[in-house]
Structure 1
Amino acid sequence: MTVQDQPAPFSAPEATPPLLPRTLMQPEHEAFRRTVRRFFETEVAPYTEQFERDGHIPRQLWNRAGELGLLLTAIPEEYGGMGGDRLFSTVLMEEQGRVLASATGFMLHSDIVAPYILHYGTEEQKRRYLPGMATGERVGAIAMTEPGAGSDLQGIKTRAEDKGDHYLLSGSKIFITNGYLADLVIVVARTGNTGKGSRDLSLLLVETNSEGFSKGKPLKKMGMKGQDTCELFFSDVRVPKENLLGQEGQGFRMLMQELPWERLIIAIEAQAAAEAVFDLTRQYVKERQAFGQAVMDFQVTRHKLAELQTEISLGRTYVDECTRAMLGGKLTPQAASAAKYWVSEMCSRVMDACVQLHGGYGYMWEYPVARAFVDNRAHRIYGGTNEIMKELISRAL
């Protein structure tokens, strides 16, 4: 992507003033936001159609994000990261949502894959993999879901057979974000035979250039068409024992420890998308004329927007409080599950209403509201379906 062929930057509408003042971010986070916003407006959003045609973003965009310091923002500097807190990650998610950019897999790479290596990896593993992930030279993915095991992680069939100094990995994974461009994949595999489900699972760091490792083509999805998502196949892939992440048989425990943050990420992204589409719709109904007046002038429109703004504001307050709890180490799995469940459902309600307020134009693919409608439907599915979220919340009752 060169300056000569670069399309015009994305122009977002004026943000709707919040019903309550927001107190979560500090000046350093807002200063960082300016860099992030410029990146997404000029180097991501204008290329949405190209990403959709390709089914993934180009490798040079990963390199550019790394060059600007936008990857691994919450990873210590000694491993190539920015050394910031997770509010810097939150800024990235919010700005990605502001321009409705669904194609980039930066968050999974930086805030899901990298933390597994930081929290459970050996010193050698951290120094081997994290610096390259920080520059964008090495793209990370995590492979949990299988054709026959989605939210039920204990149903995983992919197996890593102990061969002394290495494992032989066999099986397949599906719906893997960043899978097509990935250089490193954390694979959830069965290493034991106790029959006790969770105690038999381990996490392996698998390099994608390993013999026997293959990738399917980018999957053709209903939404998020530009996001890199594919199937992965393992045919007796030799994985050195030193690539075991953490301890053998502790994979399920590690997954459970990291999933609350992953689910809060989904809530943060859904919240940002709901706010962005609301702003677009508010601008549209002010400009769109019907029966001799702006659509905004009809009471039914104003009341619908009031309903939506109220729901969005409730979501914003809860997401920010969950984020505050996470920063203090007090985010419970139930609170994160509730955030993922309620905010993703709210986001879908907002998207549906905003398509309706756009009328026929809301059904046209070139209108951002149409893309957002299908892109954000996935929030209710990945990270554990919302039905699973309700079950997790209910267990604490």
Structure 2
Amino acid sequence: MGQIADSSFSAEGAPAHRDASLCAPRPPGSRRTPAECLQAPGRLVLCSNPAAQMRPLPVRSMTYRFFNWCRMTRLCTPGAGCGSPGLPGRESIAVGRWHTRARGECRTAVTEVVGLSLGTGDHCHMHHLLEQTPEQACRTGRLAMDGYFTNRLHDQLRRDVRDFAEREVRPRIAAMEASRSAHRELSRLIARQGWLGATIDRDHGGMAAGHLAKTVIIEELSRVSGAMGAMVQASQLGVAKIIHFGDAAQKRTWLPRIALGHCLPTIAVTEPESGGHVLGMTATAVRDGDDYVLNGRKVYVGNSHVGDLHGVVARTGPGSRGLTAFLVEAGRPGCVLGEQRPSMGLHGFSFGELSFQDCRIPAANRLGQEGDGLAVAYSSSVLYGRANLTAVSLGIHQAILDETTAFCAQRHRYGKPLHDLPSVKLKLGKLQSRLMTARLAAYHAVHLLDQGLPCDAELMNAKLINVESAIDSARNAMEIHAAIGLSTDRPIERYLRDAFHMFAPAGTSDVQLLRLAEVALGADKGQWSERLSGTVRLEPAL
């Protein structure tokens, strides 16, 4: 067996362990015991046959050192067994093999590999290894870092969400399309999976998985149902204001409940007369002793009819410093929910009206200080809203391509599959090209956000590209389907309707272009991703 120099991934000061049994071959079908698998909890144990020299390495150190040193594929050693228990809130260790490829040369070493749990309790996942020979790995180029931005944690999360969406969401789509109203039961079921806690830290019961993981969750739900993807994105938008501006007591009260799926948050900013002009709002919050009294109307409130906690921005004074944000419980006297009106798309999701009629809330429900309301609204929209809507568009876009390619394979013209027609093949090429570009823009933007790097422009651009691309691809897909695409028996018309719903929220395409022009001219007014980098940065798992 080939050797790999210890200097390539040594950990200074780490104690050495010698246990040849962990490197010894196992009988076919046998599995290593939990004690063996968990010999060094929280550490990565490396051993190179035949010397069986093992050095515990911090997971993060190993990951980044390996990634910089060579591309690699994690393989399950035949007969070694690679199962071990997933443990809530800690690393789970499985036995496997690293197949490395450097400078065109295949080299191998037996090692212990680590899978990190996403979430806690019932939301813990074990990350299984791939069964593949070194020769197959060389041919296929499968990598341990499965993509430039995503890793195995994201891939496992994607599989979990996709499986849930196919099992629980898809069977309910027909009923949601027929009722054209919010599906409370399904919204609650999704919330109980713990995915609303993707960006909530572990101290408050969240997954602490970051913005890219959040994108994967929303994308996969939207691939099956744009409405349910929109439900999660709106809830995540409601999370942002508490993470960014909530005090310790507010975070302690609300974030664990959101992470467990017991509370669906919303954000209510838009008003009938001001639209996207936030400074034009007229809803008021007047201080009265230890309370504030709210009056006014809010429209297009995502999750209005399933939400439990509304983040409301109202005017407490004149000008840009005269806006303040509050947390308002849905059942509070004076908080009145308007009738849900049918919409063009996103059936199963609600974005309705809230009115406040002398609604009294305690001053302790204020988010941040008086005058922080504009920052609450803008930061939530820029850092969460644009990324979330991008993810919904991306999922719809993937569904459009999947449905259209399947249709072209099934439908025949002139004795051949429809996709053999040059005009159809050109359109399919456009769909594929747009989707690849859109996903790259989306993942790049949230990857930067997870790193705590300035990325406002990238988030704007990702929203612009994904929304416009999804709409263009939906139109091309309708052209390929022709008359049958108009039938509600096929989902393509639903994808088109749903895609248009992503256009206006968090700024239309023209708004994104105007902001991007300011970036080009050096006239932008600072970046929220930079100001709030400490709250959006993904802390590395140790």
Query: If the length of structure 1 is used for normalisation, what is the TM-score?
Result: 0.89
- Do the aligned residues in 1 keep the contact of 2:191 with 2:261 (CA within 8 Å)? yes
Output the amino acid matched with 2:358. Answer: D
Q: Give the Cα–Cα distance (whole angstroms) in 2 for the partners of residues 226 and 71 of structure 1.
A: 18
Q: Contact 1:57/1:104 (CA < 8 Å) preserved in 2?
A: no
The structure with higher relative contact order (CA 8 Å, sep 6+) is 1
Tell me the residue number matched to 1:300.
423
- Report the CA distance shift for 1:93/1:30 in structure 2 as closer, same or farther (over 3 A): same
Say which of 107, 126, 148 aligns to 2:251: 126
Q: Report how far residue 221 of structure 1 moved.
A: 0.6
1:232 aligns with 2:354: yes
Identity of aligned residues (%): 29
**Matched residue of 2:324: which SS?**
strand
What are the within-5 Å matches in structure 2 for residues 166-185 of structure 1?
A: 166-185=291-310
Q: Work out the CA distance in 2 between the residues paired with 1:132 and 1:272.
A: 27
Cα displacement (A) at 1:366 = 2.4
**Any conservation in 1 of the 2:223–2:398 contact (CA below 8 Å)?**
yes
2:260 matches 1:138: no
Alignment of structure 1 residues 254-333 onto 2, 5 Å:
254-261=376-383, 262-333=385-456
Distance 1:312 1:59, change over 3 A: closer
Task: Tell me the SS of whatever aligns to 1:224.
Answer: coil
Contact 2:313/2:324 (CA < 8 Å) preserved in 1? yes
Tell me the residue number matched to 1:94. Answer: 219
Could you report, residue by residue, the CA deviation over 1:108-153 in whole angstroms, capped at 9, with x for unpaired residues?
3542111211221111111212222222222211101111122111
Q: Check if 1:202 corresponds to 2:324.
A: yes
1:43 maps to a residue whose letter is E
CA distance in 1, matches of 2:453, 2:436: 23
CA distances 1:165-216 after superposition (whole Å, capped 9, x unpaired): 11110011111111112111000111113xx2x2111111001111111111
Correspondence list, 1:99-110, <5 A = 99-103=224-228, 105-110=230-235
Q: Which structure shows the bigger proportion of residues in strand conformation?
A: 2
- Once the two structures are TM-superposed, the CA of residue 55 in structure 1 deviates from its matched residue by 4.1
Q: C-alpha separation between the residues in 1 aligned to 2:262 and 2:185?
A: 9
8 A contact 1:322–1:335 mirrored in 2: yes
Greater alpha carbon shift after TM alignment, 226-235 vs 331-340: 331-340
Q: 1:186 pairs with 290, 297, 311, which one?
A: 311
Given residue 503 of structure 2, which amino acid in structure 1 is its aligned partner?
A: R
**1:58 deviation in Å?**
4.1
Q: In 2, distance between residues paired with 1:273 and 1:63?
A: 22
Gaps of 5+ in 1: 1-20
CA distance in 2, matches of 1:346, 1:85: 25
Specify the code of the residue in structure 2 equivalent to 1:252: L
Instruction: Give 1:225 shift.
Output: 2.0
CA contact (8 A) 1:161 1:191 kept: yes
8 Å Cα contact 1:144/1:153 also seen in 2? yes
Is residue 222 of structure 1 aligned with residue 344 of structure 2?
Answer: yes
SS in 1 for 2:256: helix
Gaps of 5+ in 2: 1-145, 522-542
SS of residue in 2 equivalent to 1:254: helix
The alpha-carbon deviation at position 260 of structure 1 amounts to 2.4
Counterpart check, 1:384 vs 2:507? yes
What is the SS of the residue equivalent to 2:197?
coil
Letter in 2 for 1:275: Q
Q: More deviation in 326-335 or 26-35? A: 326-335
Q: 1:96 to 1:46 in 2, by over 3 A?
A: same
Residue 331 of structure 1 and its aligned partner are, at CA, apart by: 3.9
The match for 2:163 among 38, 42, 50 is: 38
For residues 234-284 of structure 1, what are the alpha-carbon distances to aligned partners after superposition, in whole Å with 9 as ceiling and x for unaligned?
A: 001001101000111011123222322221221222122112211210110
Shift in Å, 1:377: 0.4
